[in-house]
Amino acid sequence: MLSLRVRGTRLLGRVTHNSLSQTQARNFYSRKHTSPTINKTWRSFAVTGLVSTPGLWWLTATQDDDVPRLEASPAGHLVAEPGPSKNEVTRIISQDSYSFPVKSVAGVNRYDGTQLASNSLCEDRFTHGVFPSPLNNGTQWMAWAVFDGHAGWQTAELLKDQLLPFVRHGLSQVKSASSDEESIPDEVLHHAITKAFVDLDDSIIKTALQTVQSSEPLQDKLKKLAPAYAGSCALLSMYDSVTNSLHVACTGDSRAVLGQQLPDGKWEAIPLSVDQTGSNEDEVARINQEHPGEENIAKDGRILGMMVSRAFGDSRWKWALDLQQDLKERFGGPSPLTPRYDVRTPPYLTAEPVVTTTKIDPSKPSFVILATDGMWDTLSNQQAVDLVGKWLDTQIHGHPTSSPKPEYKSVDFGDLGNGVDWEFEEGRTTIQDDNVAVHLVRNSLGGNHHELIAGRLALGSPFSRRIRDDMTVQVVFFHCPRLPAK
């Protein structure tokens, strides 16, 4: 932008072509060489010339404009919004909730879900729905999945769109030795699902390598590299209504738990996946066997600093060091793990899942809970199953099972672990939500202890990450005919 003096001189140059000499125009701006009376005369004359010049009418226009008007607060007064009220707590934890009654797939009555972000943007993703049986037998399958991203959301976003299509394609290629396609052995299905997971992760890593060698524009290369820079866990559940089979594939530390009602009315918690982390002794033994002679790969519950022992993406745990350094310098990649960690023989992480198949008993009401670790940080398997069981009882019988709310003393985060339980406490249980996934989130964060749950929700990113993680929860009901459709 031109300075005021230069800008004014150029405008006057157009006017003085007819009425002012260049010397007079210069003197107009010089208080040192012009008397106040003459200066006033020339200024009035010059403005008259400006206004009469075509196209410059806007210099003196007095009509209102759209410029924002700033309202000042009284000095010394800090204006701040209060923390979430009880109604606002409900709005926050339920704003991304959903619920679907199911009629097209036998055995499934309904499923609920919700997501509560801590990161900005939320790094979790999810998917759910019905699709044609990959065994081509004319029936419908259903799928539910949660993806817990880390170091970004890009890998989880890719998995949301691509993992189920990869798995469906792999299952469609399965050929049974038997003429009866419905009797394909579970181990054959497990192999197909596992291969689909690994193939997709290989595609993420190989696409990145192919991209850096291509002639694509820089901006396109960076977009394709992002899913390899970031990482994500994956938990996929698929239900085959013909065989009453629930197939669960887990990579990482998201968790699936089956709740099954016993004859006495109580609910049994049956784990369908096991967290794959640096605290899992079996995982540590596997990694040490794959990298003999390398000490301290697993330390303090982490794998070279990473909490999970299996994940998609996370190229720093899979690429050679020279490649990591090259991508950091040329394409803004993350810093290599060295020198902080001793990296010798990558890859140290794998996307290979652990796959299980569970028969859903049609004679027993049951449900499956799928959730990222943000919820399991505060709830055990049995606690989560009991919470859903109590909610279900309330929905069916129409009366709450929670005890009267006690009075709580004021708390802060220093009290957590010092008289106030950070994790779920049964005495704080409350049943007030129509959506069971929202019900789980509410009780995992504090239940009927309003100050505790509101405090956990009051802080936004990045400070909220110190007290809660992103949470994504799905609950699917099987053979619960009396459950009302929401």
Encode pLDDT of 226-266 as tens digits: 999 999 999 999 999 999 999 999 999 999 999 999 999 99
**pLDDT, averaged across the chain:** 86
Q: What is the pLDDT of residues 149-189, one digit of tens each?
A: 999 999 999 999 999 999 999 999 886 544 455 578 999 99
The residue with tokens 């053979």 is: 479
pLDDT value, residue 277: 97
CA distance between the termini of the chain: 61
Residue 410 pLDDT > 80 = yes
User: Where are the domains positioned within the chain?
Assistant: 88-399+418-478
What is the C-alpha separation between 339 and 113, in angstroms, rounded?
42
Residue 208 pLDDT > 90 = no
Q: Where are the alpha helices (DSSP H) in 320-459?
A: 321-331, 373-376, 381-397, 436-445, 450-458
Q: Residue 124's beta-bridge partner residues?
A: 148
Q: What is the pLDDT of residues 432-486, one digit of tens each?
A: 999 999 999 999 999 999 999 999 999 889 989 889 999 999 999 999 878 877 6
pLDDT value, residue 213: 87
Distances (CA, A) of 83 to 40, 87, 455, 456: 59, 11, 7, 10
Please say whether the beta carbons of 364 and 260 come within 8 A: yes
pLDDT value, residue 312: 98
Question: In the chain, what percentage of residues exceed pLDDT 70?
Answer: 82
Residue 351 pLDDT > 60 = yes
CATH 3.10.450.50 matches 88-399+418-478: no
Q: What is the pLDDT of residues 254-264, one digit of tens each?
A: 999 999 999 99
The continuous run of DSSP H or E covering 94 comes out as helix 86-94
pLDDT value, residue 32: 45
Record the pTM. Answer: 0.84
Across residues 380-395, what is the average pLDDT?
96
Residue ranges of E strands in 117-244: 124-132, 140-150, 231-232, 234-240
pLDDT value, residue 31: 44
Q: Residue 270's beta-bridge partner residues?
A: 258
Across residues 96-120, what is the average pLDDT?
96
Across residues 363-372, what is the average pLDDT?
97
